[in-house]
Amino acid sequence: MALLLFIPIWIMVISPELTKLPNDFEYKLVLFSRDNFYDAEQKEFHGDFVSNTNYYYQATREYGKILLIKNGFSVQQPNGEEIFSVERIYGIDAITRKHVPGYGDKDREGYLFAPPHLQKGQNFTYWHINYDYPADMKYRGEESIAGLSVYRYETDYHADQTFDLESIVPLLSGKGIDLDINLQLWIEPFTGSMIKYEDQTIAYFYNLTTKKRIHPWNKFHNTVDEISILKQVEIAKRERLKRFLVETIMTVLMIIVAIILLLYPLVTRKKK
């Protein structure tokens, strides 16, 4: 009987604790980034060049089940000149992976990456650091990466980056910068882990008063390095196995043992 009472505690309390994000959580990707600046006088883009990009998540503080997670992103030209740099702080429920109001640098909805136990066709909201606007990710299909089954998500949306770029972009006075974004994510559905992402974006100058676009500023494209992808596949496989053992195998074993313990007295009584 005690085991029967323990099973709900295992499912609702112990299992989530064993599979939550750790207080030393970190996530890093090596990105292959290309930028292409627009020449307003020539009225054409200069041409792609490879830029240096740093991208990471790092848990910095814990409040019970809530983690403060720093997300950093910085891009430099090959000569070291900064193109874009930003850090954001997210307040994340370590169990559900949801953003928690009242924590982080501002209130957000949605998830750090995606919810665990993602169902085929299920959509979700995600915040990508470059843009800091909610992206409604739409299910686009199932794929395989290095033997791991993943769901691909995609969205097209807009964001304003004037505030983040005003100290970097010269002569921004009186002008803003807004973006046309295509963002794709590849998610391992059982754990909600992001295996890789890709974004293609065109940034435009616009008149702050009339809101009318003036001309492009930059066209950029970020993809994840192959080694980083394979590393995230291995991490997701380990987390998937851990979740399966904790959430499924252990629960089933306890139920089987509980049934055996309940039936054993009946069986032995009949034999007598």
Alpha-carbon span 220 to 201, nearest angstrom: 5
Residue 166 reports pLDDT greater than 80 = no
**Which residue matches tokens 């997210």?**
90
Residue 78 reports pLDDT greater than 70 = yes
Q: Place 82 in a pLDDT band, splitting at 50, 70 and 90.
A: confident
Instruction: Using CA atoms of 164, 63, 189, 10 in order, give the dihedral in degrees to the nearest 10.
Output: 180
Please tell me the predicted confidence (pLDDT) of residue 163. Answer: 83
Burial (CB < 10 A; 0-12, 13-18, 19+), residue 101, is exposed
Please tell me the predicted confidence (pLDDT) of residue 53. Answer: 86
Residue 58 reports pLDDT greater than 60 = yes
Mean pLDDT across 39-65: 90
Structure tokens at 76: 């430099």
**Coil vs helix vs strand at 117:** coil
Percent of the chain with pLDDT over 70: 94
Residue with the larger pLDDT of the pair 233 and 75: 233
Per-residue pLDDT tens over the stretch 137-165 = 999 999 999 999 999 999 999 999 888 87
Structure tokens at 138: 């739409």
Residue 204 reports pLDDT greater than 80 = yes
Helix ranges, 66-126 (H): none
Beta strands in the chain (DSSP E): 26-39, 44-45, 49-63, 66-76, 82-93, 99-104, 124-127, 134-145, 148-160, 175-188, 193-207, 213-224
Q: Which residues of 30-58 are buried (b: 16+ CB within 10 A; e: fewer)?
A: ebebbbebbeeeeeeeeeeeebebebebe
Please tell me the predicted confidence (pLDDT) of residue 264. Answer: 66
Please tell me the predicted confidence (pLDDT) of residue 109. Answer: 95
Lowest-pLDDT choice from 58-62, 225-229, 249-253: 249-253
Q: Place 168 in a pLDDT band, splitting at 50, 70 and 90.
A: low
Alpha-carbon span 203 to 165, nearest angstrom: 11
DSSP-derived secondary structure for 185-228? EEEETTTTEEEEEEEEEEEEEEETTT--EEEEEEEEEEEE-HHH
Please tell me the predicted confidence (pLDDT) of residue 41. Answer: 87
Residue 270 reports pLDDT greater than 70 = no
Q: Give the phi and the psi of residue 163 in degrees, each rounded to 5.
A: -60, -45
Yes or no: say if 185 and 202 are a contact pair by the CB < 8 Å rule.
no
Residues in the chain: 272
Domain boundaries, the chain: 2-255
Lowest-pLDDT choice from 28-32, 205-209, 254-258: 254-258
